[in-house]
Chains A and B, each alone.
Chain A
Amino acid sequence: MHGYANPARFLKFARPATGWFLGLGLLLLAAGIAGGLFVTPPDYLQGETVRILYIHVPAAWLGMAGWAGIAFASLAQIVWRHPLSAVAGRAVAPAGAAFAAICLATGSIWGRPTWGTWWEWDGRLTSMLILFFLYLGYIALASAERERGGDGRMAALFGLVGAINLPIIHYSVLWWRTLHQGQSISITSGSTIAPELLWPLPLTLAGFSLLFGAAVLMRMRADLALTKVEARLRRSSGQ
Chain B
Amino acid sequence: MNPWQFVIAAYAVCLGGTALLLLWAWQSMRSAEAQADSLKRRP
- Could you tell me which A residues sit within 8 Å of B by CB distance? 22, 33, 37, 47-49, 51-52, 55-56, 59, 94-95, 98, 101-102, 105-106, 109-110, 112-113, 208, 211, 214-215, 218-219, 221-223, 225-226, 228-229, 232-233
Contacts and interface: CB of A to CB of B under 8 A. Distances in A.
Interface of B (DSSP majority class): helix
Contacts of B9: 109
A186 B11 CA distance: 25
Interface string B1-31: 1011011011101110110111011101101
Contacts of A59: 14
Nearest to B33: A225
Give the most central of B9, B13, B25, B32: most A CB within 10 Å: B25
Interface of B: 1, 3-4, 6-7, 9-11, 13-15, 17-18, 20-22, 24-26, 28-29, 31-33, 35-36, 39-40
A23 to B, nearest CB: 12
Nearest to A214: B22
9 contacts: A48-B3, A59-B14, A105-B13, A106-B10, A109-B9, A113-B6, A225-B33, A228-B39, A229-B35
B6 A109 contact: yes
A219 B28 contact: yes
Dominant secondary structure of chain A at its interface with chain B: helix
Nearest to B5: A113
Top 8 nearest A-B pairs (CB, nearest first) are A225-B32, A218-B25, A48-B3, A222-B32, A225-B36, A55-B14, A222-B29, A218-B29
A40 to B, nearest CB: 12
B10 A56 contact: yes
Nearest to A109: B10
A94 B25 CA distance: 9
B11 A37 contact: yes
A56 B25 CA distance: 22
